[in-house]
Amino acid sequence: MIILISGNSCTGKTYMSQQLLEKYKIPYLLVDHLKMGLYRGVNNIGFTPLDSNEVIGEKLWPILKGIIMTNIENDQNIIIEGCYILPHHTKDIEKPYSDHVFQYFSDFRQIILGIIFNQRLKPIEMQ
């Protein structure tokens, strides 16, 4: 199984990946490390670390898709996490490969802010 974890920065993607590694022993790849390795190791890669997530995501997607397909062909599980995995990318994975891919978009900040916001509203509503 391939697990793709994406979402905005600081939403718990790496934490979730680490928890899955510890519990299920599934290795994970941080797309940010791939991005920086390519940026530092390949001349004219076509992006800089300061470019938008969308620009970087489009440049990295063919590489990530190749990694996904190779892991499926080798019957290996992997978690790939990063903000550069864009929602429309998984539509690019054809069957039967797509049957092995699970995609999760995290936004724990939104959930936490919602909890805090609701806790603050309750006393106001009760008055």
Concatenated DSSP letters of 76-112:
--EEEE-TT--GGGGGGSPTTGGGGEEEEEE-HHHHH
With 0.85 as the threshold, say if the pTM is over it: no
> One-letter amino acid identity for 34?
L
Could you give the CA distance from residue 9 to residue 12 in angstroms, rounded to a whole number?
Answer: 8
Domains parsed from the chain with CATH numbers: 2-126 (3.40.50.300)
CB-side exposure of 35: number of CA atoms within 13 Å? 24
**Per-residue pLDDT reduced to its tens digit, 55-98:** 999 999 999 999 999 999 999 999 999 999 998 998 999 999 99
Cα–Cα distance list, 112 to 16, 17, 31, 119 (Å): 15, 19, 25, 11
**Per-residue pLDDT reduced to its tens digit, 25-45:** 999 999 999 999 999 999 999
28: enclosing H helix or E strand = strand 28-30
- Predicted confidence at residue 114, as pLDDT, reads 52
